[in-house]
Amino acid sequence: MKLKQQKGLILGIAILIQILVLSGCAAVKRQERDAAPDIGRMRFEKPQMPKALGAKEGQEPRLSVYIKEEGKIKDMAFEEYIAGVVGGEIKNYWPQESIKAQAIIARTFVLKFIEEKGGSKYKGAHISTDIEEAQAWNMEAVNDNIRKAVKATRGDVIVYEGGLAYTWFHSNAGGKTANAVEGLNFKEGNPPYIRTVKSPDGYDNIEIPADQRKWIVKFSKSEVLAALNKIGSPVKNFSNVTIGKRGDSGRAMTIRFDQTDANAPDLRIALGSMKMKSTLLDNVGFDGKWVSFEGRGYGHGVGMSQWGAHNMAKQGKKAKEIIRHYYNNIQVANMWK
């Protein structure tokens, strides 16, 4: 073999060896990467049980519940209370996966409430059936469908980076959810797991009651002024009403009275959240005597839409898929079996 050919052969072998070495290194790196734990999982820790409950880790707590309708406190198992909440908050004949999602949200809500507040405003109780303080509660609506969902999700809660999440929910987002500042005027800012997402519950969905899809409500000028006074607005009189700032979902964040802005979520609560059903407003008007609000959806629009969950479940989505659609980068952890 000539010298020139020998050099070429040696060079070719060297290149081949280098390619094989680099390929081997890449394969090792891929193996290491695939074997490495997910970063989100590394941060994930099960939250601690609220101290006020006095329960051991992994043990189902008992709750002291103030029953507003009866004016007395009852002691009950945590999961029994959750069944009543689910009965009060969602239709008991809806798809099982939507009811499971509601059960997980309800369970998280109670633990977060007790963790933050230590207990109910009703002395001696952990929580109450007062909807102005906590969640609705209706044991009469609890059927096999609800009990099955509560049992299937027993102890499951929503967690973000090792802590209990805020699990806000509402009836109908009108097609798009809001963040917490936009929909609730949440003073602590928007949690990173609460985002604006499309929701399958728009005004063209005929399953949703017509008075939730599109609605119009009127308040007298004196009613509006009283509500403005209630939320601490400086407005004492007005001759014009318009929509001020809108948020990412299109909801009104402020309502402008002449040149003064009032917080829209706060004003909605003051006027009555069952009358002014949302801040997803298409139009406002004032004829000198009556202020009219025309809008879509029902509720503050933050977190899970119940009608959205209903429709996702009908499409074959599982409870955890529904939850992860409405709450970003969360985990579902089990607190007790």
SS (H, E, C) 296-315: ECECCCECEEHHHHHHHHHC
**Res 237 pLDDT > 60:** yes
Give residue for tokens 């060079």: 11
Sign of the dihedral through C-alpha 229, 233, 234, 237 = negative
Query: What's the CA gap between 49 and 62, in Å, rounded?
Result: 12
pLDDT digits (tens, 9 = 90+) for 81-92: 999 999 999 999
pLDDT digits (tens, 9 = 90+) for 179-207: 999 999 999 999 999 999 999 998 788 88
DSSP 197: -
HSE-CB for 236 with a 13 A CA cutoff: 0
Query: What's the CA gap between 207 and 307, in Å, rounded?
Result: 9
Average pLDDT of the residues of the chain: 89
**Res 102 pLDDT > 50:** yes
Percent of the chain surpassing pLDDT 70: 87
DSSP E strand stretches across 20-136:
62-67, 72-77, 127-128
pTM: 0.84
Query: Of 182, 177, 209, whose CA–CA distance to 196 is shortest?
Result: 177
β-strand pairing of 169-170 with 304-305: parallel
